[in-house]
Amino acid sequence: MHFQRGFARDFGVIGLTVLGCFSLLAQISRPGGCRHVFTANAAVVTADLEAMQKCLADYALEHGGAFPDQLAALWSPRSDGETYLRGRTSEPRDPWKNFYRYRVTADHRGYRLESLGRDGEPGGRGESADIGVSR
């Protein structure tokens, strides 16, 4: 009798697991079901942009308020051997493996830093939408 109750309980757990898997597959296979992947990629881009924005602010503090000509200044070693983007020695890429785009204003007091999204082209919607910050 004890064996049968344990078997029934285990069978119930297996049944719930299978039902959960089918539910997950139904969510993913429906249109827009993978929206969470885009949300995760956008969150990575936002975090990267915030980190680079802080590094650009540090750079400007040390250079009389002027931002660098190129973003490479953030991962190029300074005179003390450190980089502004600590631990980075190469150009960061967004989740779609595209380089971030950086444009500095003519007076070096402002900039635009952005990911051009999945397609790597300006504009777009969904995963191809641009995500950026300006100062």
| Per-residue model confidence as pLDDT tens digits over 95-108 | 999 999 999 999 99
* pLDDT at site 71: 94
- Structural domain boundaries of the chain? 1-33, 35-134
**What pTM value is reported for the model?**
0.69
pLDDT tens digit sequence for 14-58: 544 544 444 444 454 455 544 445 578 999 999 999 999 999 999
Close Cβ partners of 131 (under 8 Å, ≥ 6 residues apart): 42, 45, 46, 49, 114, 115, 117
CATH homologous superfamily of domain 35-134? Answer: Glycoprotein, Type 4 Pilin (3.30.700.10)
Stretch among 72-81, 97-106, 108-117 having the lowest mean pLDDT: 72-81
Mean pLDDT, the chain, as a whole number?
80
- CA distances to 1, 34, 50, 51, 75 from 113, rounded to whole Å, are 68, 27, 10, 11, 15
In the chain, what percentage of residues exceed pLDDT 70? 72
Interval 6-23: pLDDT, tens: 544 444 445 445 444 444
